[in-house]
Structures are given as structure tokens and as C-alpha cells.
Structure 1
Amino acid sequence: MQRKIRVIVADDHPVAREGIGAYLRRDRRIDLVGMASDANSLASLLSDHSCDFVFSDIGMQGMNGESNSISFLRRLAREAPRPHIVAVTMIAHAQMLAGLMNLGVEGIVDKRDALESLTEAINAITRGRRFASLHAYELLSATLPDVPARAGTLSAREWDVFRMYASGMPIPEIADYFNRSSKTVATQRRSAMRKLGLDSESELIAYAQQIGLT
């Protein structure tokens, strides 16, 4: 009898996590061995259970207070042996998605696409191919070759500044809150945008909306 495909699902939104898990359980080939709500619980699951695939949101909290799980997924992608990694995300930013692929993520499933994309990702990756669901594929296909791929992890302070700025707080007010100069806070905001591959205020606003900050 063929061994089942062992899968772990990680997402900080309970509805998304349970929905993905419920769909995967319907596939008799799949053994859902665990679900995590952040990078710390994902790391704990991986230490206790061997698995073949990790389906992970990238916007959930990372290790040691990091703003997202990208740094953890980067480290996981460097391990050997390791599970196949599929990013499941609402982020519609081509540079970010291309950066994930460069880090070693083998599949990207846009949450706006049908749940069937989850099993399509498994089928493609087990055949040695990379996978992008419809919305992700359209974005990646439109990426210009001279545009750098970026998928960064912000420091705790960069994340705080980015979050407050995205919520509409002016830089002088953020500076007063942290007892720092406006120049320092502006530099941290630019650094955060650069790491995330955001080149304009409109891209910043769109990104903040996609990850639920606004």
C-alpha cells in the first residue's frame, strides 16, 4: 500500500487554517499530521512529526517576534532533508512572490484561487515541477526580468514603524512615540519598504490591505 502524503498546515487565521485542513482531509492520499498558528508552533510540529509538505501562510508571526514567517521558511528551505514548501498567501506583489521562489519555496497558492490549487500544487511538485496558482502565476508572468525579487523579514522596530505608518500615523507622531528623530523613523520606514519590495506609497497601501493592516 502506497504511503500517504504527510502534510502540515500553518496559518494564523483560524478560518483559513481549518478550511485548508478540511479540504486536504478529503483527499485519501493525504495524512494531515498537524496545524500551526505561527512559526513557533510550526517549528514545534516539524520537530515532532516528519512530513512531506508544509502549506504555510507567510504573513503569520515569525520566530522571536519577527513580522512574518519568511525568515523561518528560508531556514527550513536550506535544511536537508526537508519537506516541500508551499506558500499560501493573499499578497499580490510580484517581487515578493518571486523572492519566495528564489528562497526555495516550491509552490505559491493565492488564497483567492480555488481550493483545488492545493492538491494541484502537490501533484505538480511531486512530479518535480514548481507550482503557482492562477493569480500568483499571472503576477509572476508579468514580472520584468530586470526587477529584483524581494522577500524580506523586518526587524521588530521596522515592523512597528511600518504597521503604524500603514495605519495612517504620520512619521513625526511615530517618532514621538518611540522617542526617536523623524529622520530615524523615516529611514526605518524606507528600509521596511525596500525589504518588502514596495517602491511607492500606493504599493505600501495595497500591501497593508492584503495582509489586513488596514
Structure 2
Amino acid sequence: MGAQVARADQAEQTEQAERVRVIVADDHECVRIGVTGLLRASPRIDVVAEASDTHSLACQLDAHACDVVISDVCMPGMDGEYSSLSMLRRLVRTPRAPAVVVLTMISSAPMLSGLLQHGLQVIVDKRDVPYALLPAIDAARVREPFQSACTRSVLERAGAGCEPCVGVPSAREWEVLQLYVHGMPIGAIARQLGRSVKTVSTQKRNAMRKFGLATERELIEFATQIGLT
């Protein structure tokens, strides 16, 4: 009997050791609820925390031991910038830091190529979550690349000649772009922010260039994808 109890205890300890501790970060509550529900249905995943922006993600990383961070790349940033990209990029470059799975609705090939260029090699399109998220977690844990079907399709259509977008808009550029996609003309933005029309126009162009966006149509599509409109 004692040997059986010992074996049972050992099996339980092994199972616990193999469980994957995950933090889910997304600024849309419905996404967090869906992803967390899916993960909690798996007997080998522990969702240890959730975060709604980059600051709360940083706090949760300080508070909880974690193996994998699953994060939207377009959450509000910590210093007014547009994204959680800077933090995720630091994670993948830091030894013994949690692995990263990027969740995104972005379908811009230059932006997706830019994520890969930044070292964010595990990318799951939100439309692929039900069947791609668990394999992505497994790939991230062993530091292997993984792109879900929708992401892979965008990259394959773009081909090897796709120029990756590796820039990150400044806080001021992002501020201008948000106001613009919400329908405010350049002149009105300049008056509201106390800048010249030329400065605001330049900041808008710079932000679009860093996102790999060449036309107004691409800008509106991108804003829709990341939930700005």
C-alpha cells in the first residue's frame, strides 16, 4: 500500500511539473474569456493570470511564475505608444524568460514579416485559435517557429520579396494616427495637439510607413483589424 501511495504521489508531482503556466493578455475582454476558457479545458494548462494592457502584463509577470505569455501585439503600450511589441520583443531576447505566443488579427504581410524579424516566431491568427493555440504553445515552449494557417497563408501569398516592417511608431505618431482613423482631419488634429499641419502630416506618414501601410484603404483595414474602428 505504501508503495502504491508513493507511486501515486510521484505521478501527481510529474503531472504538476508538466503543466504549462500561462498568462493571457489582450485588451478585448471577449478574446480573453474565449482564450482562457479554451485553455482551462486542457488538463495540462494552468492560466495563472490575465492582463488587459502592457502595464498589467508587466505586473502579472512580476507576480506570477509563468512558462508562456499569450499576448495580442496591439495592446495599449506603457508610454503612450501603440503596442506591447517592445515588451514581447524583450521577452524573446531574454534568457529564461517566458516563451511568447502572439495573438493577432493583423493580415498585413509586412507587419507579420516584421514580427518574425523581431524574433516573435510563434504567431496565431485569432481566427485560428480553436485548433492552433495548443500546438503554438507547444512550439513556443521548445522555441520552435509556428504560424497558424491564416498567418501562413498571408506570408506565402506575399512571397520572399515582402519587405518586413520593423519600425515602431512613437507615442506622438500613434496619437496622430488614432485621431485620424477616428475621422478627424489633419488640420483639426494639428489644432487639438498644438502642432503644425506639416508636423502632423509627417507624423501620420511616418506611422503608416512603420506599419507598412501605403494607402488610405490599407490604413482603414489595419485600424479595423486591431480594433481601432
TM-score range, shorter chain: over 0.9
Residue 128 of structure 1 deviates from its aligned partner by 4.7
Once residues 120 and 147 of structure 1 are traced to their aligned partners in structure 2, the CA distance between those partners, rounded to angstroms, is 26
1:33-56 CA-partner distances (Å, limit 9, x unpaired): 111111111111112222111100
SS of the residue aligned with 1:63? coil
Once residues 8 and 212 of structure 1 are traced to their aligned partners in structure 2, the CA distance between those partners, rounded to angstroms, is 21
- State the match for 1:45 in structure 2: 60
SS of the residue aligned with 2:103? strand
Q: What is the TM-score normalised by the length of structure 1?
A: 0.93
Using the aligned pairs only, state the percent identity: 48
Once residues 143 and 122 of structure 2 are traced to their aligned partners in structure 1, the CA distance between those partners, rounded to angstroms, is 11
Q: In the alignment, is the contact (CA less than 8 A) between 1:88 and 1:110 conserved in 2? A: yes
Residue 151 of structure 1 deviates from its aligned partner by 4.3
Once residues 151 and 8 of structure 1 are traced to their aligned partners in structure 2, the CA distance between those partners, rounded to angstroms, is 26
Which stretch has the larger CA shift, 120-129 or 150-159? 120-129
SS of the residue aligned with 2:175? helix
Q: In the alignment, is the contact (CA less than 8 A) between 2:121 and 2:145 conserved in 1? A: yes
Q: Against the structure 1 CA distance between its residues 127 and 78, is the aligned structure 2 distance closer, same or farther, given a 3 Å change threshold? A: closer
Q: In the alignment, is the contact (CA less than 8 A) between 1:71 and 1:152 conserved in 2? A: no
Q: Which has the higher helix share?
A: 2
Q: Against the structure 1 CA distance between its residues 107 and 35, is the aligned structure 2 distance closer, same or farther, given a 3 Å change threshold? A: same
Once residues 51 and 212 of structure 1 are traced to their aligned partners in structure 2, the CA distance between those partners, rounded to angstroms, is 28
SS of the residue aligned with 2:150? helix
- State the match for 1:110 in structure 2: 125
Pick from 96, 108, 129: which aligns with 2:144?
129
- Count of aligned pairs between the two proteins: 214
- State the match for 1:97 in structure 2: 112
Pair 1:180 & 2:195 matched: yes
Q: In the alignment, is the contact (CA less than 8 A) between 1:11 and 1:56 conserved in 2? A: yes
1:6-32 CA-partner distances (Å, limit 9, x unpaired): 111001111111110111011111111
Pair 1:171 & 2:158 matched: no
- State the match for 1:61 in structure 2: 76
- State the match for 1:15 in structure 2: 30
Pick from 86, 97, 117: which aligns with 1:71?
86
Pair 1:138 & 2:146 matched: no
Q: In the alignment, is the contact (CA less than 8 A) between 1:97 and 1:151 conserved in 2? A: no
Residue 144 of structure 1 deviates from its aligned partner by 3.4
SS of the residue aligned with 1:7? strand
Q: Which structure 2 segments of 5+ residues have no match?
A: 1-13
Q: In the alignment, is the contact (CA less than 8 A) between 1:35 and 1:42 conserved in 2? A: yes
Q: Which structure 1 segments of 5+ residues have no match?
A: none
Q: Against the structure 1 CA distance between its residues 79 and 125, is the aligned structure 2 distance closer, same or farther, given a 3 Å change threshold? A: closer
Once residues 102 and 91 of structure 2 are traced to their aligned partners in structure 1, the CA distance between those partners, rounded to angstroms, is 13
Show structure 1 runs of 4+ deviating over 4 A: none
SS of the residue aligned with 2:111? helix
Pair 1:6 & 2:8 matched: no
**Match of 1:113, as an amino acid?**
D
- State the match for 2:217 in structure 1: 202
Q: What is the TM-score normalised by the length of structure 2?
A: 0.87
Once residues 47 and 67 of structure 1 are traced to their aligned partners in structure 2, the CA distance between those partners, rounded to angstroms, is 22
Once residues 228 and 123 of structure 2 are traced to their aligned partners in structure 1, the CA distance between those partners, rounded to angstroms, is 22
Q: In the alignment, is the contact (CA less than 8 A) between 2:103 and 2:126 conserved in 1? A: yes
- State the match for 2:103 in structure 1: 88
Once residues 128 and 105 of structure 2 are traced to their aligned partners in structure 1, the CA distance between those partners, rounded to angstroms, is 10
